[in-house]
Homo-oligomer: A and B are copies of this chain.
Amino acid sequence: MTSFLYTAAKEKIISLIESNEISMDQRLPSERALAQKLGFTRMTIKKALNSLVDDHVLIRHPGDGTYLLHGKHSGRIDAGDDAPWSLTQTIKIKGGVPNSEIKSFKLVYDVPMLTKIFPDFTEFYELIRIRKFDDIVFSIQKAYIPFRLFEDAHRYDFSKISLYDYLSYKNMRPALFHRKIRTCPVTSDSLFKNFNVGPSKLVLSVEYLGYTKPDCLVEYTQSYFDSNQVDFKVEIPYSFK
């Protein structure tokens, strides 16, 4: 979908990792070695490797080498809607079994909540997904994107391709996020039956508004997380006067 050399290099490096040619806790080949082996410039390989560092797949030490980010203290995957790398891919490389199940994908009209959020649109695609890590449901997500901006969305299989890869392909990948987090009790909504928690348990609710620019809202997502399965990074929200 993207057609940069460093993306191609990235995929070849991932293949190396997945095919177990690099064993755990072992150094990856050096930038120079990979450049020669895979047929790219050193700078292109560097870009690919550092991109995998951003994705929490690798870790690099100057003067030493590049390593798989493994071990007890390294396991941490961004699970938010603004995660940099396809969650499915990341889980796979980490040795987990990913499983994204689509519960529903359809057009919805005249939903008051949505018209309030998106004053300029009336029709939306609604994508409801169950996300698993090693067969444990950690998240239920309802994503909404305006039909007018993504008329061809029905042609893609979002159990296979990440929603964000699709938005990137349409040059609509959100860069700014407005988030609201709160805890809420498990409701009787049948969706929550997927969570392995009793009705008295608290579930974490996160709302994402994704903007490509400050004035260009392209996505609204409601995510519910099993608070036993996820963790958080602390941030300070503020509103600029």
Contacts and interface: CB of A to CB of B under 8 A. Distances in A.
A76 B236 contact: yes
A236 B77 contact: yes
Interface stretch (A2-10, A109-117, A193-201, A227-235): A227-235
A213 to B, nearest CB: 7
Which range contains the number of A residues in contact with the other chain?
Answer: 35 or more
A240 B76 contact: no
Contact of A73 (B96, B133, B209): B209
A119 interface: no
B235 A232 contact: yes
Q: How many copies does the complex hold?
A: 2
Interface in A193-230: 204, 206, 209, 211, 213-214, 223, 225, 229-230
Contacts of A95: 240-241
A181 to B, nearest CB: 6
A188 interface: no
Contacts of A96: 238
Contacts of A94: 238, 240
Given A71-B214, A75-B240, A95-B241, A234 B206 contact: yes
Nearest to A71: B214
A231 B236 contact: yes
A235 B78 contact: yes
B231 A79 contact: no
Given A78-B233, A78-B235, A240 B176 contact: no
Given A95-B241, A240-B94, A177 B73 contact: yes
Contacts of A61: 213
24 contacts: A59-B175, A61-B213, A70-B214, A71-B176, A71-B214, A72-B178, A72-B240, A73-B176, A73-B178, A74-B214, A74-B240, A76-B179, A76-B237, A80-B233, A94-B238, A95-B240, A96-B238, A206-B234, A223-B234, A229-B236, A231-B237, A232-B234, A232-B235, A233-B233
Interface of A: 59, 61, 69-80, 82, 94-96, 133, 138, 175-179, 181, 204, 206, 209, 211, 213-214, 223, 225, 229-241
